Amino acid sequence: MYEQTEFKIARRNLILSSLATAGAWPIASGLAMAQAAPAAPDAGGGASGSAPPAAPPPSAKAAQDAVKKVEDTILRISREVWETPELSLHEELSSKIHIRELEAAGFAIVSTGTSGIPTAFVAEWSQGEGGPKVGFLPEYDALPGLGNAAEPRQTPGPSGIEVGHGCGHNLLGAGCTGAALALKEMMIADGTPGTLRVFGCAAEETEGAKVYMARDGLFNDLDACLAWHPAPANGTGLLRTAAVDMINVTFRGRTAHAGVDPWEGRSALKGAEMFGIGVQFMREHVRPTTRLHYVYTSAGETPNVVPDHASVFIMIRDADREQVRAVTDWVRQVAQGAAMSTRTEAEIDLFFGLHDLLPNEPMVKRLHQHITATPIEWTEEEQAFAKACQREMQLPEAGITDQVLPILPEVSMGGGTDVGDVSYNTPVGIFAIATMPVGVGLHTWPVTACGGMSIGDKTSLYSAMVMAGVGHDVLTDPEFRAQVRADFEKRLKGRPYISPLPPDKLRPSGIPPHLLLRDGSGEIVEEVYEYEEGEVEAPPARTS
């Protein structure tokens, strides 16, 4: 008995410690932070960790049946996106795969090139007069250097090793789009009125489309929005992520021979270094929730030339937008001071930002009920695959978990997500499902490997089932919907949504020229953007 208890405790600690490595997924990393905190109360007022599980919601079985009807479509999306991985802002094929399946299921594609992003889209289906509106947030971008076959070892995948789904977005996207398709089946079966909206969320790994969509007000009329993310564990909780500002600081000086007449130069590198020193001296006087981390992205070419150009990429994180703005103002002053002290010039480009994530307690409790309604099960072959990945990674061979963690209490953490900007415009429900072995973090090759075989298949279907069930509850249960809205309004505290994007930032940086759109209609105007890149002469000015 003692040995069995000891093993359970060791396995639980291993699961929780593994979550800390999944920092790209806010719930996953937040779960580890919540290990020592008391469990949140359950719907009956007891502690989630000790109270018996609630009865499965009535919609759980209907959601399970509906997902079975669209299973082939969900798996087709996941597998095709996995086989053709594309980096952020390059997701031409991936977005088309989602659009193809949505159109085939009767959804109208109401927007492409959404919010200035060529690979973003919005699809919609409705039934009846009026009714609530529920949104889904599929992602589909991949990561560089993480291509891998569906094998428990590092080996090139279908497209080599250059690009792969090391964050599991092929699964995430298939689950979200699949949930909308399944919920449509449930609505048709019982005649539920309402609207389903699927937001093709391009470029989550860089400058997430959700932030641009939120600025355009695309989530404002929803009753709720649902999402999930791959992780090493199954669970959800009242977890808050950090707000973020991303800034490029560029220093410009004057070149000179560093050995012959350095007094004639003004070192941009010294400006950047002085900026870094100023940031270090800030650290004693910022809040415990503040994070300041930066890299030098340009620092000169050779030491015998005084650099006339240097740049720093800095990320500023804090508990909410108000605190981030205050720290960002201070960082601006530090940059200007560094320029003055080195007689250089500083250019400050705040090019992207994120809101903190607002949790929603009624939504979290309902999600947890659906997650526990039909536990995920792994075969011996799948556990063997997971253990082989762990062996390759020199990790304990604990396999992949089927346990569901208790609801986690409200905890703030340092990671960020563009879902935060959605959560300031509509209530959001978000959860994690184990798609990778215990101890494995996101943005690693085993995530890609698991996402291309039956482990990934099961999680795409399982996540769709959870979201379809909760989505149906939102549509059909006015009392639940009112509770979700009341919690949202309580946490929002009447604060208006103010986009973290600069007003003149029309679209993310780094969109391939051939994908840039003139007006979102799909018309490609390569000549204009070749001119912007300096590749062709400017066209003559128009006189009409």
What pLDDT sits at residue 201? 98
344-382 per-residue burial string, b: 16 or more CB within 10 A, e: under 16: bebeeebebbbbbbbbbbbbbbbbbbbbbbbebebeeeb
Q: Which long-range contacts (CB under 8 A, 24 or more apart) does 13-16 make?
A: 14/396, 14/398, 14/438, 14/439, 15/232, 15/233, 15/398, 15/401, 15/403, 15/438, 16/233
For the four alpha carbons of 388, 143, 371 and 355, in that order, the dihedral sign comes to positive
Enumerate the β-bridge partners of residue 240.
Answer: 412
CA–CA dist 150, 435 (Å, integer): 13
H or E stretch at 269: helix 268-282
Amino acid, res. 184? K
What does the angle CA 428 – CA 430 – CA 435 come to, to the nearest 5 degrees? 160
Enumerate the β-bridge partners of residue 52.
Answer: none
What pLDDT sits at residue 30? 47
Domain ranges in the chain?
A: 24-33+54-240+356-492, 243-354
Token code pair at residue 148: 């891998």
User: Strands of 345-354's sheet, edge to edge?
Assistant: 291-298, 309-318, 243-252, 345-354
DSSP state of 257: B
The residues, ordered by sequence, that sit 6+ positions from 168 with a Cβ below 8 Å of its Cβ are 229, 230, 435, 436, 442, 447, 450, 451, 456, 459
Token code pair at residue 367: 């999600």
CA–CA dist 40, 465 (Å, integer): 24
Q: What is the CATH number of domain 24-33+54-240+356-492?
A: 3.40.630.10
391-425 per-residue burial string, b: 16 or more CB within 10 A, e: under 16: eebebbebbbbeebbbbbbebbbbbbbbbbbbbbb
Task: Count Cβ atoms below 10 Å from residue 490 Cβ, excluding itself.
Answer: 11
Phi, psi torsion values for 136, nearest 5 degrees:
-130, 150
Token code pair at residue 5: 């208890």
Selection from 417, 295, 276, 427 nearest residue 353 by Cα: 417
Q: Do residues 520 and 113 lie in contact, with contact meaning Cβ atoms separated by under 8 Å?
A: yes
CA–CA dist 14, 10 (Å, integer): 6
CA–CA dist 350, 361 (Å, integer): 33
Enumerate the β-bridge partners of residue 502.
Answer: none
What does the angle CA 100 – CA 106 – CA 112 come to, to the nearest 5 degrees? 50
CA–CA dist 334, 338 (Å, integer): 6
What pLDDT sits at residue 19? 41
User: Along the chain (544 residues), what's the average pLDDT of each consecutive run of 10 residues?
Assistant: 38 41 43 41 38 74 98 98 97 98 98 97 96 98 97 94 96 98 98 98 96 98 98 95 97 97 97 98 96 97 97 97 97 98 98 97 98 94 98 98 95 90 98 97 97 98 98 98 98 96 93 72 37 36 33
Amino acid, res. 518? R
What pLDDT sits at residue 447? 98
Q: Do residues 88 and 101 lie in contact, with contact meaning Cβ atoms separated by under 8 Å?
A: no
243-354 folds as Alpha-Beta Plaits (3.30.70)
What pLDDT sits at residue 541? 35
